[in-house]
A and B are shown apart, each in its own frame.
Chain A
Amino acid sequence: DVVLTQTPSTLSATIGQSVSISCRSSQSLLDSAGNTYLYWYLQRPGQSPQLLIYLVSNLGSGVPNRFSGSGSGTDFTLKISGVEAEDLGVYYCMQATHAPLTFGSGTKLEIK
């Protein structure tokens, strides 16, 4: 199975600060058709996960543009440009290039 390693495991930020979360894959996530099935989700406390980013860099429906995704192959990054209070929670990356679908272990964002 593909292992996704997220760093850091915990992140503390002030309002307005920009932060980045890394997701490193044990295998390339580029498929034979040239697609990279890498996603980012946010799970706020007590809530279900919600889609932030799909196919590496595409913003999900209704997601603020302070969120952005980048990367290729095995290295991916989620950036939040100007953290807001509502951004606290656990961020997960997920890959769907290789079966079975797998998630990273999560990065908890705390607001100072």
Chain B
Amino acid sequence: EVQLVESGGGLVQPGRSLKLSCAASGFTFSNYYMAWVRQAPKKGLEWVATISTSGSRTYYPDSVKGRFTISRDNAKSSLYLQMNSLKSEDTATYYCARHDTIAAFDYWGQGVMVTVSS
């Protein structure tokens, strides 16, 4: 059974940093692209980042480019999101998702809440 478990969320002040983690199990982690998708409170879904199988290629929308960094450790079956220079508009639930080349986000974690506030 595919499982994705996020951790590392919490309350952080504007301008500070936070690192999210996602522990994967139930599939061969190193064979899949992985992604982060977020959802602001009572809002829709926004893609945040994607990383290739080896980690050599990363992709971001303009809203987080230069501030967020996605990375992975295939030996630990773990995905990460380093978030710097956080803004109030980054407040959201962050989901880890398996990013299949055909089926897109076919499995999702339960999400972790990040609140950016002074």
* Contact residues on B (Cβ < 8 Å of other chain), bracket: 20 to 34
CB closest chain-A residue, reference B2:
A61
**Interface: B25 (CB within 8 A):** no
* Contact residues on A (Cβ < 8 Å of other chain), bracket: 20 to 34
CB <8 Å contact, A49 and B105:
yes
CB <8 Å contact, A39 and B104:
yes
CB <8 Å contact, A99 and B59:
yes
Binding site for A on B (CB under 8 A): 37, 44-47, 50, 59-62, 95, 102-111
- Taken together as a complex, chains A and B put the C-alpha atoms of A100 and B102 apart, in Å, by 16
Interface on chain B toward A: helix, strand, loop, or mixed SS?
A: strand
- Contact among B47, B104, B108, B109 with A100 in the assembled complex (CB-CB below 8 Å): B47
CB closest chain-B residue, reference A39:
B104
Least distance between B116 CB and chain A CB atoms (Å): 21
- Taken together as a complex, chains A and B put the C-alpha atoms of A60 and B106 apart, in Å, by 8
CB <8 Å contact, B47 and A49:
no
- Taken together as a complex, chains A and B put the C-alpha atoms of A103 and B43 apart, in Å, by 11
Known contacts A48-B110, A106-B44; A55 and B102 CB within 8 A of each other:
yes
Least distance between B118 CB and chain A CB atoms (Å): 28
Contacts beyond the supplied A48-B95, A54-B106: 20 A-B pairs with Cβ under 8 Å:
A1-B61, A41-B105, A48-B109, A48-B110, A54-B102, A54-B104, A60-B103, A60-B106, A61-B106, A92-B45, A94-B45, A94-B104, A96-B104, A100-B60, A100-B62, A101-B104, A102-B47, A103-B46, A105-B44, A106-B44
